Amino acid sequence: MLKVVSGKRLTHQRDQDLTHYAVELKILAYPQDDLIKEISALISQEKVHLMRMQNSIQDHQVKIDLQIQVKNALQLQNFNQQLRRLSGIHSVERVMPK
């Protein structure tokens, strides 16, 4: 079951008493051969659920739209910190639903 949590603008899914929040991120990075591989490895390492990943090239930068599910704000914060440490990552920002 998916629903929007009022006031938090997060979507959550309850599965076996575990709540996960859907979060969208926009990542800008410099083109590198293993960038998607490194992001995928980080997703697995941090036990974040991948819902969607779409990438494109804009103005000599890679733009990655990422939709993930996290358990809580701490997991999201840790994931974002690790993501920013990857080589070539220029910026990571959260996209709020409209």
Kindly report, residue by residue over 36-81, the tens digit of the pLDDT: 999 999 999 999 999 999 999 988 899 999 999 999 999 999 999 9
CATH code, residues 2-95: 3.30.70.260
Percent of the chain with pLDDT over 70: 82
Report percent pLDDT > 90 for the chain: 71
Confidence of residue 18 (pLDDT cuts 50, 70, 90): low
Q: What is the model's pTM?
A: 0.78
Taken in order 89, 47, 33, 54, is the CA torsion positive or negative?
Answer: negative
Under the banding of pLDDT at 50, 70 and 90, the label for residue 98 is confident
CB-neighbour burial class of residue 82 (10 A; exposed 0-12, middle 13-18, buried 19+): middle
